[in-house]
Structure 1
């Protein structure tokens, strides 16, 4: 099990089971939603995620992603602004995307991406594992 929370702790969650995959996304929308070089995330089945605190606080922005052409529902904490989960119901039905930065990994739990999306937008100075499967777009 993995637990996680937003920065202020008002929204907390638990993840059970293994992720479907782990990924880095460098599309413009993921970069802008995180304010960083990209978004590190894990995809889980929706049944794996349980919001244990603050579910009623969670706010969702409907992002009409320009790069992928998909609509991504990005959920965040309105208090601290932390992006927590996202859903792309058309391309990945039944899955929830959980941001790596909100996970509280225990000692011995490791996270490493196995996929990279929108590598055409990846910062040239950013190193990632050589063995990840890389896609120019999605």
Structure 2
């Protein structure tokens, strides 16, 4: 399926459109991603920031920063404040 891509969270509070193909796609098996995905890994697609448009009311997106990462670098997770869907 070619770009553009679009989607929304379960409650519809956050919607997004991506105008390009992913820069990279990877699978992460770290403990944070495994727990967040509810399985053994999480699939991650990275896109150029300029190609991603997010529609949400102010305060609808919450963020959490992990500081206890195996790389030692902080990792941010964003999610819908209402339904909890990861972004």
Match of 1:68 in 2: 71
Q: Give the deviation of 1:80 after TM superposition.
A: 1.1
Equivalent runs, 1:1-138 vs 2, <5 Å = 1-54=4-57, 56-84=59-87
Q: Distance in 2 between matches of 1:2 and 1:68?
A: 31
State the SS of the aligned residue for 1:19: coil
How far apart, CA to CA, are the structure 2 residues paired with 1:4 and 1:39? 18
Q: Which runs of 5+ in 1 are unaligned?
A: 85-138
Computed over aligned residues only, the root mean square deviation of the Cα atoms, in angstroms, reads: 1.5
So what's the TM-score if we normalise by structure 2? 0.84
Q: Give the 3 Å change call, closer, same or farther, for CA 55–17 of structure 1 in structure 2.
A: farther
Distance 2:38 2:65 in 1: 17
Name the CA distance, whole Å, in 1 between partners of 2:70 and 2:46.
19
**TM-score, normalised with respect to structure 1:** 0.56
Deviation at 1:66, TM superposition (A): 2.1
Based on CA coordinates, which of the two structures has the bigger radius of gyration? 1
